[in-house]
Structure 1
Amino acid sequence: MVSAVLWVLLWVLGGSEAQRSLPSCQPDIYAQLRELRTQVEAVRIECGDAPVVAFTASLVDAGHGHYGPFNTNAVLVLRNVLTNRGNAYSPTTGLFSAPVAGLYFFSFSSLSAGAQPCGVGLYRNAERVATACDHSAPATAHSAGNAAVLWLKAGDRVSLQLGAGAMAIDDSSLRQTTFTGFLVSLT
């Protein structure tokens, strides 16, 4: 009886020669899970866990309005926020503050009327990086626009500045004076 029990235990624990020589028909689920985890981590590293950062603002939210002219450059504060994912644009100060380091795209446009020139600069911190202006002869309207791709560090500030003597006008239904920006990539 003891030898029969030993024989069964040896057979269960060791398996037969035929069992050891047959390939397993069932996949190694743990190896597949490890491979899947490795692939997911690679995608996370490649894509990053990038926050969504995007905004668009226009000068006025109701009716008609203007900003300027001033004797010196002045930050152009666009109070009508259409989109502000990530809350990086402040309609109180007119400043965009980069929440993370990365590559950002910005575009802006401005409209002026009559004898007032249209002149707006895009600034990263205190450095002007792009300008849009129209100083043609007095006309019904002057418009200008420009765009830039900027590498920003976390905390860098981007703003529009209205040039000295320039004016920006807007109509809430037309949105002619605008500022847009969004995060393109973390790398």
Structure 2
Amino acid sequence: MVNEIKKTEDKVISTLGDIKQTVTGFTNMFEDMKGNITDEMLKRGDAIQRREEKLEQPSIAFYAHHLKDLALDTTNEILIFEKTITNEGTGYDTSTGLFTAPVGGLYQFVVHTCAYKGKYSYLGLVMEGNVIAADANYGDTNYGCNTFGAIVRVKSGEKVWVKSTSSGSVHQLHQNTHRMNTFSGVLVNY
């Protein structure tokens, strides 16, 4: 009988060992699954955060036209485009001709102007006092129109404008219903 008890005890110990291995296997498999799920949740959380940040990007854009003064008789005179079609973020001021960045970021600015027939225009796109793009134009037998611009990083509160870089009696712009002088800008990346 002692032998039978010993055999039963060995079987019980062996079965308990098998159960322990099975439980350990399940535990390891569960830990692996838990790690994979955690990694996947972290990745998805990061993706959601990036989407939320993109949705939070402010909408900053302006499109101004119609020059207050077409004569370019003063060097460094700021061109004042007195009408806006778009002014998201209210960065462009129609009374001063200055765009003040409501938020910092990468901006694209475009200037389109037309020189009067037989006249010149020398203009600069200016950021915080520094010319960052320039244009020279001559209205030969007709009214010549040109476009120029720049993509620049602008800090919050910095100003961008258009100015005459040369002046005189032979410098003048032209505008009518077919030729608009425009100044525009848009926040490309926040």
Q: 1:174 aligns with which of 171, 178, 183?
A: 178
Count of aligned pairs: 158
Identity %: 24
Structure holding more strand per residue: 1
SS of the residue aligned with 2:131? strand
Measure, in 2, the Cα distance between the counterparts of 1:57 and 1:87: 12
Measure, in 2, the Cα distance between the counterparts of 1:143 and 1:53: 27
Measure, in 1, the Cα distance between the counterparts of 2:102 and 2:142: 40
Asked if 2 retains the 8 angstrom alpha-carbon contact of 1:89 and 1:96, the reply is yes
Instruction: Give the CA deviation at 1:123.
Output: 0.3
Asked if 1 retains the 8 angstrom alpha-carbon contact of 2:116 and 2:144, the reply is yes
Aligned to 1:83: 86
Measure, in 2, the Cα distance between the counterparts of 1:150 and 1:38: 28
How high is the TM-score relative to the length of structure 1?
0.70
Aligned residue type for 2:181:
T
Instruction: Give the CA deviation at 1:79.
Output: 0.6
Q: Does 1:50 align with 2:57?
A: yes
The 3 A distance-change label for structure 1 pair 175 and 86 is: farther
Aligned residue type for 1:41:
Q
Instruction: Give the CA deviation at 1:90.
Output: 0.6
Aligned to 1:132: 135
How high is the TM-score relative to the length of structure 2?
0.69
Measure, in 2, the Cα distance between the counterparts of 1:134 and 1:42: 44
The 3 A distance-change label for structure 1 pair 41 and 59 is: same
Map 1:10-159; keep pairs closer than 5 Å. Answer: 39-45=47-53, 47=54, 49-59=56-66, 66-135=69-138, 138-159=140-161
Q: CA RMSD in A?
A: 3.1
Asked if 1 retains the 8 angstrom alpha-carbon contact of 2:107 and 2:185, the reply is yes
The 3 A distance-change label for structure 1 pair 43 and 109 is: same
Any unmatched runs of 5+ in structure 1? 1-20, 22-30
Any unmatched runs of 5+ in structure 2? 1-25, 27-37
Asked if 1 retains the 8 angstrom alpha-carbon contact of 2:69 and 2:79, the reply is no
Aligned residue type for 2:73:
F
Instruction: Give the CA deviation at 1:144.
Output: 1.8
The 3 A distance-change label for structure 1 pair 126 and 93 is: same
Instruction: Give the CA deviation at 1:139.
Output: 2.6
The 3 A distance-change label for structure 1 pair 167 and 40 is: same
Aligned residue type for 1:154:
S
Query: What does the per-residue CA deviation read over 1:109-142, in whole Å, with 9 as the maximum and x for residues that have no partner?
Result: 1112133202221000100010111146x43322
Asked if 2 retains the 8 angstrom alpha-carbon contact of 1:95 and 1:159, the reply is yes
